[in-house]
Amino acid sequence: MATGGYIGTTFLTPTNHQYDAYVTTDFNAGGIANKRSLSADDALLSNILEERYLTFIGQIEGFNDLRRTQKETTVTVPVPPNTGTQLPQRFLYAQGEVNGNTSVPKPIPGLFTATPVNQ
């Protein structure tokens, strides 16, 4: 990205901002990537999870990271619910899936019912 990467060389003109890669001190308490004063390792992991979430928008990987870290106290994917206080635990079962797949659980669990691995 320091050479323009996929965003074009005009990004590096003096009137625009230049991309600077993170350095180790960015993850220290109070650093640009550690506003919550976490340990440097936790700040790095938190930033990795946040970037994964943004990269995987619309895919199951970001959703899984969100579910897997929601009970953690320091390193989580920082996504608050839009409505209410809970995030969904699973995807909806499509009616076609319910009609044609004998492995669909009965009764169908609600969106906010924790999956066995997350209980």
- Same domain, residue pair 4 and 44: yes
- Per-residue pLDDT, 28: 94
pLDDT of 100 above 80: yes
- Same domain, residue pair 4 and 42: yes
- Per-residue pLDDT, 13: 57
- Same domain, residue pair 24 and 7: yes
- Same domain, residue pair 63 and 9: yes
- Same domain, residue pair 17 and 47: yes
pTM over 0.75: no
Q: Residue 4: what residue type?
A: G
Work out how many domains the chain is built from and give that number: 2
Note the pLDDT tens digit of each residue in 50-64: 899 989 988 989 888
Among residues 106, 111, 107, which one has the least CA distance to residue 92? Answer: 111
Q: Which residues, including other chains, have CB under 8 Å from residue 1's CB and lie 6 or more apart?
A: 7, 19, 21
Cα 66 from chain centroid? Answer: 6
Rounded to an integer, what distance in angstroms lies between the CA atom of residue 87 and that of residue 92?
Answer: 13
Rounded to an integer, the average pLDDT of 80-102 is 88
- Per-residue pLDDT, 99: 93
- Per-residue pLDDT, 1: 56
- Same domain, residue pair 72 and 87: no
Rounded to an integer, what distance in angstroms lies between the CA atom of residue 84 and that of residue 101?
Answer: 32
- Same domain, residue pair 15 and 73: yes
- Per-residue pLDDT, 19: 65
- Same domain, residue pair 68 and 33: yes
- Same domain, residue pair 15 and 71: yes
pLDDT of 90 above 90: no
- Same domain, residue pair 20 and 58: yes
Q: 45: domain range?
A: 1-78
Cα 64 from chain centroid? Answer: 8
Distances (CA, A) of 118 to 46, 63, 65, 67: 20, 13, 12, 8
